[in-house]
Amino acid sequence: MIDTMLVMAAVAAACAVPGVFLVLRKMVLVGDAMSHVLLLGIVLAFFVVRDPASPALFFGAAAAGVVTVALVELLQHTRLLKEDAAIGLVFPALFSIGTLLASMYLRNTHLDVDRVLLGSAELAYLDRFTIAGRDLGPRGFAVPAMVFLATVFLVAVAYKELKLVSFDPGLATTLGFKPALVHYALMLGVSLTTVSAFDAVGPVLVLAFFAVPPAAARLLTNRLSILLVLSVAIAVSAALAGTWLAFRLDITTAGTVCTVLGTLFALTILAAPDRGLIAELLRRRRLIRELHGTLLVVHLHRHEGTPAEAEESRREGLEAHLNWSREQTARVSRRAQAEGWIVAVGDCWKLTDAGRDRAKAAGT
C-alpha cells in the first residue's frame, strides 16, 4: 500500500503544477484531447523501436500530445470551425487510429488497450526504474516524481513569463515575450506529465488530477504562488486518502482517488471562506440584517421631532408602520438595540447618536 501511495502522490503532485496553468488559461479540455492521443504516440513509437520498455515510447507519446495541440490550432486558424469542435474532431480521430492499430497489430504484446485506457496504480510499482543499472525505485513513482521536479524547476525559472502569459497574453506580446513559445513549452509539460501519469491512472482520470486540485485551490486564493502550493497540497492529500480508502474497500485506486478529489472540490465549493456557498449565504444574510436595521433607524429618524413621533416610534405596534411581521420587528429592534443604535425610553424607541448617524448615512 505504501508503494501505491507513493505512486499516486507523485502522479497527483506532477499533474497539479501544469494543471494550474491549464485551469487559468481555460485549456483543460485541450489536456483531455492530448491525453487520449498518447495511445497513438505509444503505438507508433512501438512500431519504430519494437520494444515495449523503450524510453522512445515515452517521448513518442509526449510528441503525439503536442502534435494534437498543433492540429487543433491549425484547424481553428482556418476559421471554418470553433475551438471546441476542433478538439472534438481531432482527438477521437487520432484515438481511433491508435485503437485500430493497437487492436490489429498488437494483440499479443505488452500493450493492452484496457490497461492503457484505465491505468492501474496497483501494478504501476511493479516495474522498477533503472538508470545505468542503478535501481531508482518503482517506475510509477520515479518517472512522475522526476517530471514533478522538472516542472517545478521550469515554473520557478519562467515564473514571471508564465504569470504574464496566463493572465494577460496581449500585454505579454507587447512587452516582447513570446506567448507562443511559453504556450508550447507548457503544452510539452502537460504532455510529459500525462505520459508519466499514464501507467497509474490512464488518460481519462488524469484529467481530474489536472483540473480539480487547481480549481479547488482557485476558490481559496487569488495569488499564483499560493495557488501552486495549495494545488499540490490538495492533490497529494487526496492521493494519500484515496489510496488508503481504496485498499480498505478493495476497489480501484485511481477511481477512488478521483472520487476523493471530487468530494474535496464539493467541500471547497461549500466551505471556501470567501467564495464558498456557505460564505455567500452568510454574507447575504448579514446584508439583509443590516438592511433591516437601517430601515428601522431611518424610519425612526424620519419621524424624529414630528408630531407623529410618539405614535410612529411606539414599541407596541411598530410592525404596522414598517409592514413587517411582529416577530421580525422584535428581532430587528433587539439587534439594533444591541448595536447601540436605539434605546428604549418609556414605551417608545429613541435613536442614539450612533443610530442617527447611521440613518443619515443611509439617507444620503
Please list, in sequence order, all residues whose beta carbon lies within 8 angstroms of the beta carbon of residue 125, skipping any fewer than 6 positions away.
Answer: 3, 4, 6, 7, 138, 139, 140, 141
- For the stretch 324-352, what's the b/e string if a residue is b when 16 or more beta carbons lie within 10 angstroms of its beta carbon? beeeebeebbebbeeeebbeeeeebbebb
Q: Which of 71, 72, 164, 246 binds another protein (CB under 8 A)?
A: 246
Name the 3-class secondary structure at 135: strand
- Residue with the three cell numbers 433587539: 334
Q: Bridge-partner residues for 128, per DSSP?
A: 138
Q: Is 131 a binder of another protein (CB under 8 A)?
A: no
> What's CA 145's distance to the chain center, in Å?
21
Please select the residue that binds another protein; options are 137, 169, 179, 262, rule is CB under 8 A: 262
- Specify the residue, 85 or 308, whose C-beta has the smaller distance to another protein: 85
Query: Where does this chain touch another protein (CB under 8 A) — which range of 44-52, 55-63, 182-190, 205-213?
Result: 205-213
Nine-digit cell string for 140: 510509477
- Is 23 one of the binding residues for another protein (CB under 8 A)? yes
Find the shortest distance in angstroms from Cβ 350 to another protein.
Answer: 43
From 79-87, 189-197, 290-298, 322-330, give the range in contact with another protein by CB under 8 A.
79-87
Task: Name the minimum Å distance from CB 39 to another protein.
Answer: 10
Least CB distance to another protein at residue 309 (A): 46
Taking CB under 8 A as the criterion, the residue among 56, 63, 89, 229 binding another protein is: 89
- Set of cell numbers at residue 336: 439594533
Asked if 199 and 120 count as a contact pair (C-beta separation under 8 A), the reply is yes
**Cβ pair 28, 207 in contact under 8 A:** yes
**Stretch of residues binding another protein (CB under 8 A), selected from 27-35, 125-133, 165-173, 288-296:** 27-35
Q: Which stretch binds another protein (CB under 8 A): 206-214, 224-232, 287-295, 322-330?
A: 206-214
Nearest CA to 12 out of 236, 233, 267, 218 is that of 236
For 84, the enclosing helix (H) or strand (E) is helix 83-105
Are 340 and 347 spatial neighbours (Cβ–Cβ below 8 Å)?
A: no
Q: Is the backbone of residue 251 left (phi > 0), alpha (psi -120 to 50) or beta? A: beta
5, 147, 215, 241: which one contacts another protein (CB under 8 A)? 215
State yes or no: residue 208 binds another protein (CB under 8 A). Answer: yes
* Cβ atoms < 10 Å from Cβ of 3: 17
Q: Which stretch binds another protein (CB under 8 A): 129-137, 170-178, 210-218, 323-331?
A: 210-218
Residue 204 engages another protein in binding (rule: CB under 8 A): yes
Stretch that binds another protein, among 64-72, 204-212, 300-308, 352-360 (CB under 8 A): 204-212
Q: Out of 1, 49, 126, 277, name the contact with another protein by CB under 8 A.
A: 277
Closest by CA to 229, choosing from 179, 156, 160, 142, is 156
**Contact residues for another protein (CB under 8 A)?**
23, 26-29, 31-32, 36, 75, 78, 80-82, 84-85, 87-89, 92-93, 95-97, 99-100, 103-104, 107, 113-114, 117-118, 204-212, 214-215, 218-219, 246, 249-252, 254-259, 261-262, 265, 269, 275, 277
